[in-house]
Amino acid sequence: MKLFYFLKNLKKSFSKYKNSVTVYISKENIFHNFHTYQNNYKGVAIAPVLKSNAYGHGLVEVAKVLEKENIPFFVVDSLYEASILKSHNISKDILIIGFTPCENILNFNSSKFIFSIISLEELKNLSYVIKKPVRIHLKIDTGMYRQGVMIEDIDEAIKTIQGNNKIVFEGVFSHLGDADNQDNFFTLSQVEAWKKVVEKFKNNFSTIKHFHLSATPGLPFNEIGFGNVARVGVGLFGFNTSGHTHLNLKPVLRVESLISSIRKIKKGESVGYSRTFTFQNDSTLATVPIGYFEGVDRRLSNIGSFKIKDQFCNIRGMVSMNITSIDVGDIKNIKLEDKVIIISENRNDLNSVENFAGLANTIPYDILVHINPSLKRKVIESFDKI
């Protein structure tokens, strides 16, 4: 009983805790993006991809927003992610798209879990050891040469599945390796290989529910690809990675922090580790309690910026593990704990995900997934409500 009251009081005390960094997630924008895909691709069911902490947005938070939508299943990378969703009472089916060792399939099988089998060897190993039904989707390698049953091994895979009634065969899928390229040659070769794969499996199995080839960049090819499901990940969060279509998508995430210290700086003084920036004029320097551990890419040192009071403040010196310094010399009446927008949902802002990615010479995915999972995620109706 004492432990109960201790935990209750601990939870109550943390309800008043003010976070130094908060990741805001807009329900309005998630729904907008999801319905945009539904309306533009009516021939397929949209399966939200929530791997890698929902591309940095928050695995459980995003799943709860979308759980009541018409979706065939959520897609995650690992059994660990699937188990987190299950522990939070997510009721939708969950496709685990990454590799799962057979031992884990046996020990943590669930009626809501669908396991991806990504090689003939894995399929055979599973068929030897399962004692009760296991739901699977079989991945086929149509030319990316990364994962999947090779096309020349499909006949043997079919025999293996047909020889074990504990294998509940529900889906076939593949992945396009070059769908964002304006040159369609390689993608169309994969699509042609996929069509033959689909035909072969349809001829051998009448009960397969799902065929899915395309992720977000490959959706324009879905109409010629015989798929009834599309896996939408980064597009769900507002980033159009296709070179063949441009949808009106809205970024879903904003990251905010606050000013943690302010100091006057004289001309000629330097800041941060390795003294990589020296001030050419007197100015004012502020620190923000967020660094590369929390998700500010170290490559943004001396070239990135944060936003305060609708003004952009340049990062000065190296981004530290938990601290970033910014020049606030042009901000009037700056004070301790003033709000700082670290990542803006406005793609035209200097501190948007796209612009950060460009400065760091990387891709938006890289910026998003490195937003630390330990940071507070707060789901809001819209950014206008903050």
pLDDT band of 185, cuts 50, 70, 90? confident
Cβ–Cβ < 8 Å for 289, 281: no
Helical packing angle, 185-204 and 154-162, nearest 10°: 30
Query: Which secondary-structure segment (H or E) carries 281?
Result: none
Average pLDDT across the chain, whole number: 93
pLDDT score, position 227: 85
pLDDT at 45 over 80: yes
pLDDT at 354 over 60: yes
Task: Tell me the C-alpha distance between 2 and 31, whole Å.
Answer: 43
Which residue in this structure is represented by tokens 């935990």? 7
Q: Which residues pair with 271 in a beta bridge?
A: 277
Helices (H) and strands (E) in the chain — how many of each? 11, 20
pLDDT, tens digit, 9 for 90 and up, residues 51-90: 999 999 999 999 999 999 999 999 999 999 999 999 999 9
**Cβ burial 104-136 (10 Å sphere, 16+ → b, else e):** bbeeebeeebbbbbbbbebbebbbeebeeebbb
Please state, in angstroms and as integers, the Cα–Cα distance from residue 122 to each residue in 63, 126, 157, 173, 358, following that order: 29, 6, 10, 16, 39
Name the pTM for this structure. 0.92
The answer for 159, left when phi > 0, alpha when psi is -120 to 50, beta otherwise, is alpha
